[in-house]
Amino acid sequence: MIKDFFLRGLGAGAVAGLLAGLFGFLVGEPFIDQAIAIEEAAAGAGHSHADELVSRGGQAFGLFLATTLYGLVIGGLFALAYAFVKGRFGPANEQTLAVTLAAGGYLAIVLVPFLKYPGNPPAVGDPETIGQRTVLYVVMLVIGLLALGAGAVIHRRFGWVAAVPAFLVIVGVAYAVLPAIQEVPQEFPAVLLWNFRVSSLGMQAVLWGVLGSVFALLSARRPVRV
Amino acid sequence: MSQISSSPSIPVRNLLPWSAAVPVLLIVAYLVTMDSAGLLASSGDFLHELMHDGRHLLGVPCH
């Protein structure tokens, strides 16, 4: 039953989101705090965190809320994608398929857009261009998914030797064609930017890694009859 | 191959009803990660600010 997959995906996604939130809280929050200190020192730049609707403590709690909701969404979509690709694409073994699909999702939904339009800490980014940056980010994410789908189709017929180059060409052309965005202030600390971005990728890796693993574990414990 | 390896595909007609869940999930994703444009500007400011750190760390454009 597809419902079993779906509930399994939501459950695995919630666990993945909570653990990603924990990772973000322990690893990422200090960098956000440092960036906010820089933002507030540069008076008047961007939006101010001083007169807050939500306190910094509230935002730390909000981190868990955001990652858990995000995990639920990704888990649900993951489950439906899994139900579709099962028996059509990828490894025949269901657990291997779950982990492979999670790796594919991380690649297409996180890495592909991130390498072109990386996440930024507070104090980086011009509020004027948020609309444009959001559109470009979503376009890059969709291209990542299309490239992954194309790769899966080509892999089934011609194997890795054709699938990997096809994926890379699609993503590479998009990287070359779409406009670059450079909004990091000259004086923003490079180390802080690097640390923040690595922690961001790390948090997403926790989310997708846990999602794939938990989903695979649940598949092993109780296979779904279709 | 063990039994778990033989995974039959699910017919598309069985999957189709579940595609209705996709827009719902995407709306939740939108509310968490985007809404910087402020579609929910009046009521959404609170949620937007609440999930501020999550959005930054998830790597989506924030502000």
Give residue B28's pLDDT.
Answer: 92
Give residue B38's pLDDT.
Answer: 55
Q: What is the ipTM of this complex?
A: 0.90
List CB contacts of A220: < 8 A, sequence separation 6 or more. Answer: A94, A95, B4
In a domain, A44, yes or no: yes
Q: Does B58 touch chain A (CB under 8 A)?
A: yes
If one counts the domains in chain A, the total is 1
Residue B5 has pLDDT above 60, yes or no: no
Write the DSSP symbol of residue B36: T
> Which residues on B lie below 8 Å from A70 (Cβ)?
29, 32-33, 54, 58
In a domain, A10, yes or no: yes
In a domain, A154, yes or no: no
In a domain, A89, yes or no: yes
Q: What is the pLDDT along chain A (226 residues), one digit of tens a residue?
A: 899 999 999 999 999 999 999 999 999 999 999 999 998 887 565 555 555 788 888 888 999 999 999 999 999 999 999 999 999 999 999 999 999 999 999 999 999 999 999 999 999 988 888 889 999 999 999 999 999 999 999 999 999 999 999 999 999 999 999 999 999 999 999 999 999 999 999 999 999 999 999 999 998 887 776 6
Instruction: Give the nearest chain B residue to A49 (CA atoms).
Output: B49
> Which residues on A lie below 8 Å from B6 (Cβ)?
92
In a domain, A180, yes or no: no
Residues B39-62, mean pLDDT to the nearest whole number = 79
In a domain, A209, yes or no: yes
**C-beta of residue A102 within 8 angstroms of C-beta of residue A78:** yes
Could you tell me the residue range of the domain that residue A23 belongs to?
Answer: 2-123+186-221
In angstroms, the first-to-last Cα distance of chain B is: 51
In a domain, A169, yes or no: no
> Which residues on A lie below 8 Å from B4 (Cβ)?
93-95, 219-220, 223
Which among A184, A190, A23 has a CA at the least distance from the CA of A117? A184
